Each structure stands twice: as structure tokens, then as C-alpha cells.
Amino acid sequence: MSRYAADHKEKTRARVIALAAQRIRAEGIGGLGVAGVMAEAGLTHGGFYAHFPSRDALLVEAVSHLFDVACDAVEQAEAKHGARALERYVDFYLSPRHRDDTSIGCPVPALAGEIRHAAPAVREAFDSGLERLAETLGRITAQGGRPAGRKAGLALLAEMSGALSLSRTIADPKRSGALLADVRAEVLG
């Protein structure tokens, strides 16, 4: 008889994926070390291979998880705020809090600069997640007087993630905040 619950391995794997996703968001793909994630999960480095065949396999799962969380945030905004969902989502996305805390929010600005150097499977996970997020955003874009649909969601995402990325490069918080506010005004019209 096993000393673990039937779903123990599945829960452990999910915990490792969530921890890896946090590490990737905060430190980038290059900052993800298998030993560090496993230690943070309270597991041994050797135990990693009971859950994943390789570091790239973990990266695929973690990137997918980041996009799952991002899509959930849009859906929660829609459920909670209805007709004001787009406005509320844009308010968060283009906020100093999102700019300053890389451990939260959208994976696009966190990974866009380095994803092209990742393994093909990791890039495919990013592409798939980007499409899912664009489609999810496309359901609420009409609320801002924009066209609805995947293309509109992708355009909105490109505009906001670009603004957020630029705001993170500006040393003066006032100028950086002004950029976010200006783009917010443009996005919401």
C-alpha cells in the first residue's frame, strides 16, 4: 500500500509547475534552475525526473501555466465587471503595480525578449498561449469600442505589452507612469 494519496504525484507535479512559472516570470527562462525549483518545492533534484523528462518539458508546462493564469484573469474580469471588464483589465495591465512587480501579470512582456532563444517546444507553448490569450481578450475588446475577436485581442495585447515593456525601461517613475497613463487613454479612447 502506498503511503501517499492517489493524487499525490499529480499535485506535486502541479506545484513544481507553478513554482517554475513564478521563477520564469520573475527571472526569465534563463533563471529557471531545476535544482532550485525542486528545493523550493521541498523535493530532491533527482525526483525531478519522476515528473518531467527534461528541463524543456518543465518549461513547456510552466509557460502554458502562465498563459492559463493570464486567460483566467481576463475571464475573472469579465465575470466580475461585465461591461467594464476591458476597462478594469487595462487599468491593471497598464498600472505601476504591474510594471514594478514582475511576479504578477502577463507573461508576454516577461518572456517576449528571450522566448526566441528557447527550444522549439517552449516557443510553441508560448505561441499557443499567446493565441489563447488573444482570443480571450478578443471577447471583451468590443467593450472599448474596438472590434471584437482574436485579431483585436492580439492588437490590444501587442499595444499593452509593448507599453508595459517600455515603461519598465524608463528610470524615472513619473515618466514611466505617464507613458502607462497615455497608452491607457489611447487604448480606452
The residue ranges of the chain whose pLDDT is under 70 are 1-4, 6
Query: What's the pLDDT at 2?
Result: 52
- Domains of the chain, earliest start first: 56-188 (1.10.357.10)
Residues 6 or more apart in contact with residue 177 via CB below 8 angstroms: 96, 167
Q: What is the pLDDT of residues 93-104, one digit of tens each?
A: 999 999 999 888
pTM attached to this predicted model: 0.91
pLDDT of residue 66: 97
DSSP characters over the chain: --SS-TTHHHHHHHHHHHHHHHHHHHH-GGG--HHHHHHHTT--GGGGGGT-SSHHHHHHHHHHHHHHHHHHHHHHHHHHHGGGHHHHHHHHHTSHHHHH-TTSS-HHHHHTTTGGGS-HHHHHHHHHHHHHHHHHHHTTGGGGTSPPSHHHHHHHHHHHHHHHHHHHH-S-HHHHHHHHHHHHHHHH-
Strands (E), 74-153: none
